[in-house]
Structure 1
Amino acid sequence: MTNVVPVTGPVLILYTGGTLGMELGANGWAPAVGFEQRIQQAQTTWPQAQSLPAWRYATIDPPIDSANMTQQLWLSMRDVIVQAAEQGCSGVVVLHGTDTLAYSAAALSFLLGGLGVPVVLTGSMRPAVQPDTDAWANVFGALSAITSCAAGVFVYFHQRLLRGTQVSKWHSEADDAFRAVRHDGAETITGHVPLALNFQVQRQPVSLAVVPFYPGFQANALQSIVDTGVQGLILECYGTGTGPTEDAELLAVLHRAIARGVAVVGISQCPVGSVLPGQYAAGSLLVQAGMLPSGSMTREAALAKLFALLGAGITAQKLPDYWLTDFCGELA
């Protein structure tokens, strides 16, 4: 990789919870505190321990199962990471549950634009307390990887380093649980960072909804979501960006939502490929109704980008100026 950020200060390990730090309780596995001591103990027997960078530790209190991740926690993580960089940390390793790790990696990619340090998220498929855990290979692998990372946000998992805006969880059980499903890998992106995506910009949580099309989808289902006051809609379209556009009421709902200032974008349900709405009439009609196509963006990247832009005050009317510009690898 190019543009490697030299390690001149300690790396921050930010523990948010997740499987790797869980203990078995009365209701099943749940996140536990005290993970710093476990890392220190495990490092004493790790074969490549001497090559790991110095680190210090912080935690989100209380640690969570990542199924409970929220936009507000993304903003809190952003604050901790920015503070660490300002205090001289050369990078940050975020320990995170796997269920929403890809969402958080995408969100931090857009929240930390221009920060200038590498951030690597990792987790595990089995708790660190289990003899066959994959936790330590991922934790110490991430610590090692950060010494040769460019600035930006990445996911390290099962010996793979993937760009944070290109990754999805593809398997619920395998150790190799994450893939860059629409991209080739963690290439360096040198895109311009607009003011709206600069790490210094303060953001607010945004009401968003992801709506998949399916045979039998009804317009009143979409209308009920719009009526909640949602600020942004991500339509999961078929193939290259098609939907049930013979339903005139569905198109009418989209027209009314967009007239009210709701941002509407479209992604593909397919794990590989891009939204090419001009290819079929059923896609062109969605664009004519006001849906913005999202190219090759994953669900995670589209949700995170919409959150970051709307949360920074970009209006639905201004969104087209930003949406199909590649800022941090989301369209690469």
Structure 2
Amino acid sequence: MALSDLDLNRRILVVYVGGTIGMRQSADGLSPQRDLPTALAVKLAPWGGQLPLFSIESLDEPIDSAEAEPADWLRIARHIAERCNRYDGFVILHGTDTMAYTASALGFMLRGIDQPVIVTGAQVPLETPGSDALDNVVSALTFAACPALSGVGLAFDRVLYRGCRTTKVSSSDFAGFDSPNHPPLARLDDSLSIDAEAVKQPDTGGLAFELPDQFGATVLSLRVVPGMQPALLDALLDLGPQGLILECYGSGTVPGLGGRMLGFLERAMNRGVVVVALSQALHGGVRLGTYAAGSALVKAGVIDGRDLTFEAAFTKLHHLLAQGLPSAAVRGAFTRNLTGECRE
């Protein structure tokens, strides 16, 4: 698609929620600034008619993304939902540390949304020389002006990914994010190239928004490692989780620990804990039927998380548990591809 085919009459709301992009040096190090909308508007002024119509605002209390909580996902989703009738798209400026979590959570809460919601940020603050911030914002606005794009995406280093497929892969490189098991939706170079197959989304049956009243579940993770101490299993159950992500080796194997692992999983199931298996490998995901050890997990009631990212599995569990469903219903809903987060 030529850049001349973009709809520059679209009205895009840019919302700063916090993060490195808007930080400024203080006596204690980098901290969020409150006047980012003004500073960003000045930086964008030379782009003039090359971008869609936009306005910039900030949440009342910008946060360091390391302090982000599930309640913040809901606050951002509500901010968008309350304004979706007044804008043709949204750009969310967010810190990189938990950006993939927020993008994934928004994908579940706003599934079916007709407008593009592009989450972006920066590895270097906007006002620091050599920053990637302005380029990322310009790219996000350009993607938001494309009529062929909708739903929640994450834009970084001129690449647009499906939000619920992303993970942070570098703490310093400008190409800080990737979508390991799904191709990018679009790329911006001299022109805008879109992957027509990648942008396809599951049918939501007309559902537009699914915002819970609050997030209150406890979702924990257990990463298996060589020499794992069995006492850790009991300690984890004592925390009373409603959801658990089991980070397995390879395609879905775990140490038996002399029968303690399966016993732990059986106790978890009896308590109604929803247990999902993921792979520690970045590419490929789990296939629990590949090895006998994986088949044992299936028999124990563990859900095959397929090629979900950790961020998508974590936010999907939170999203489903927040709806007050019984664990059996959560398990059933988790196996469905809700918003393009996993392979069919």
Equivalences for residues 96-245 of structure 1 within 5 A: 96-148=94-146, 149-186=148-185, 187-193=198-204, 198-205=208-215, 206-245=217-256
Rounded to whole Å, the distance in 1 between the matches of 2:237 and 2:208 is: 29
Rounded to whole Å, the distance in 1 between the matches of 2:238 and 2:154 is: 36
Equivalences for residues 301-316 of structure 1 within 5 A: 301-316=312-327
Q: 1:51-100, CA deviations, whole angstroms, 9 ceiling, x for partnerless residues?
A: 211122332232111111110000000100101103x2111100001111
Rounded to whole Å, the distance in 2 between the matches of 1:316 and 1:194 is: 23
- More deviation, 232-241/177-186: 177-186
Rounded to whole Å, the distance in 2 between the matches of 1:117 and 1:35 is: 24
TM-score by length of 1: 0.93
The Cα shift of 1:166 comes to: 1.1
The Cα shift of 1:325 comes to: 2.0
- CA separation of 1:51/1:261 partners in 2, compared to 1, >3 Å: closer, same or farther? same
- More deviation, 117-126/247-256: 247-256
CA contact (8 A) 1:219 1:253 kept: no
Specify the alignment match of 2:188 in structure 1: none
Rounded to whole Å, the distance in 2 between the matches of 1:298 and 1:161 is: 17
Q: 1:257-310, CA deviations, whole angstroms, 9 ceiling, x for partnerless residues?
A: 111111110100000002111111111112211110111111011111111111
The Cα shift of 1:115 comes to: 2.4
CA contact (8 A) 2:10 2:145 kept: no
Specify the alignment match of 1:67 in structure 2: 66
The Cα shift of 1:174 comes to: 0.4
Residues 1:23 and 2:34 aligned together: no
Whichever residue aligns with residue 66 of structure 2, its letter is: A
Specify the alignment match of 2:189 in structure 1: none
Whichever residue aligns with residue 90 of structure 1, its letter is: D
Q: CA RMSD in A?
A: 2.0
TM-score by length of 2: 0.90
Rounded to whole Å, the distance in 1 between the matches of 2:76 and 2:6 is: 21
The Cα shift of 1:40 comes to: 1.1
Specify the alignment match of 2:272 in structure 1: 261
Rounded to whole Å, the distance in 1 between the matches of 2:154 and 2:143 is: 10
CA contact (8 A) 1:168 1:300 kept: yes
Q: SS in structure 2 opposite 1:85?
A: coil
Rounded to whole Å, the distance in 2 between the matches of 1:232 and 1:102 is: 19
Whichever residue aligns with residue 19 of structure 2, its letter is: G
Q: SS in structure 2 opposite 1:58?
A: strand
Q: SS in structure 2 opposite 1:304?
A: helix
Structure 1 runs not aligned, ≥5 long: none
The Cα shift of 1:41 comes to: 0.5
Rounded to whole Å, the distance in 2 between the matches of 1:23 and 1:240 is: 43
Rounded to whole Å, the distance in 1 between the matches of 2:222 and 2:60 is: 32
The Cα shift of 1:201 comes to: 4.2
The Cα shift of 1:315 comes to: 2.5
Specify the alignment match of 2:192 in structure 1: none
Rounded to whole Å, the distance in 1 between the matches of 2:273 and 2:208 is: 23
- CA separation of 1:7/1:231 partners in 2, compared to 1, >3 Å: closer, same or farther? farther
Equivalences for residues 291-310 of structure 1 within 5 A: 291-310=302-321
CA contact (8 A) 2:19 2:95 kept: yes
Rounded to whole Å, the distance in 2 between the matches of 1:15 and 1:308 is: 23
Q: SS in structure 2 opposite 1:317?
A: helix
- CA separation of 1:69/1:5 partners in 2, compared to 1, >3 Å: closer, same or farther? farther
Rounded to whole Å, the distance in 2 between the matches of 1:282 and 1:216 is: 17
Q: SS in structure 2 opposite 1:320?
A: helix
Whichever residue aligns with residue 155 of structure 2, its letter is: Y
CA contact (8 A) 1:245 1:285 kept: no
- CA separation of 1:73/1:303 partners in 2, compared to 1, >3 Å: closer, same or farther? same
Q: SS in structure 2 opposite 1:319?
A: helix
Rounded to whole Å, the distance in 2 between the matches of 1:107 and 1:315 is: 20
- CA separation of 1:9/1:260 partners in 2, compared to 1, >3 Å: closer, same or farther? same
The Cα shift of 1:6 comes to: 6.5
Q: SS in structure 2 opposite 1:44?
A: helix
Whichever residue aligns with residue 199 of structure 1, its letter is: F
Q: 1:113-150, CA deviations, whole angstroms, 9 ceiling, x for partnerless residues?
A: 12221100000110111111110000111011111152
Rounded to whole Å, the distance in 1 between the matches of 2:38 and 2:309 is: 36
- CA separation of 1:261/1:156 partners in 2, compared to 1, >3 Å: closer, same or farther? same
Rounded to whole Å, the distance in 1 between the matches of 2:276 and 2:325 is: 14
Rounded to whole Å, the distance in 2 between the matches of 1:320 and 1:208 is: 14
Specify the alignment match of 1:275 in structure 2: 286
Rounded to whole Å, the distance in 2 between the matches of 1:316 and 1:181 is: 29
Rounded to whole Å, the distance in 1 between the matches of 2:327 and 2:205 is: 17
The Cα shift of 1:327 comes to: 2.1
Number of equivalenced pairs: 326
Q: SS in structure 2 opposite 1:181?
A: coil
- CA separation of 1:201/1:157 partners in 2, compared to 1, >3 Å: closer, same or farther? closer
Specify the alignment match of 2:91 in structure 1: 93
